[in-house]
Amino acid sequence: MEDNFDYPVAPAPAEAEEQIDARGHNYSLEAERYVIGCVLLDSDAVVEVMHRIDHDDFYDPRHKAIMQAMEQIYERDEVVEYAKVWEELKKLKKDNQVGGPDYIATILDSVPSVANITSYVEIIEEKSLVRRLMSFCENTKREILAGKKDFKDLSLDADEQLQKIIERRKVVNVQRIKHFTEKVIEMAEGAKLNDSQLLGLDTGFVELNRATSGFQKGELIILAARPGIGKSALAMNIATYACRNSKANVAYFSLEMSNEQLAARILSSFSGIGFKRIRDGKITNKEMLQLTGAQAEVNKLNLYLDVECNTNLDDIRAKCTKLKREDKLDLIVVDYLQLVTDTRGGGSRQEEVSRVSRGLKKMARDFNCPVLALSQLSREVERRNLASSNEDHEPGLSDLRESGSIEQDADVVLFLHRPNSKQSDSEVRKATNHQTKLIIAKNRQGEQTKIPLIFRGPQFTFSEVNENEKEEVKEPETNE
3-class state of residue 1 by DSSP: coil
Going along 346-449, which residue ranges are E strands?
Answer: 371-376, 412-417, 433-443
Other C-beta atoms closer than 10 Å to the C-beta of 313 total 22
Integer Cα distance of 332 and 305 in angstroms: 11
Asked if residues 201 and 213 have their Cβ atoms less than 8 Å apart, the reply is no
Give the DSSP per-residue string, 372-399: EEEEEBPTHHHHHHHH-TTS-----GGG
Integer Cα distance of 480 and 475 in angstroms: 13
Q: With 0-12 CB in 10 A as exposed, 13-18 as middle and 19+ as buried, what is 133?
A: middle
Integer Cα distance of 218 and 412 in angstroms: 11
Residues 6 or more apart whose Cβ sits within 8 Å of residue 377: 224, 225, 226, 395, 399, 400, 401, 415
Cα 204 to the center of its chain, rounded Å: 22
Torsion of CA 238, 244, 250, 253, to 10 degrees: 60
Other C-beta atoms closer than 10 Å to the C-beta of 288 total 14
Other C-beta atoms closer than 10 Å to the C-beta of 77 total 6
Report the sign of the C-alpha dihedral through residues 241, 245, 246, 250, in that order.
Answer: positive
Asked if residues 63 and 36 have their Cβ atoms less than 8 Å apart, the reply is yes
Angle 241-244-249 (CA atoms, 0-180°, nearest 5)? Answer: 90
Catalytic residues: 256
Residues facing 335 on adjacent strands: 254
Asked if residue 336 has a cis previous peptide bond (ω within 30° of 0), the answer is yes
Asked if residues 336 and 223 have their Cβ atoms less than 8 Å apart, the reply is no
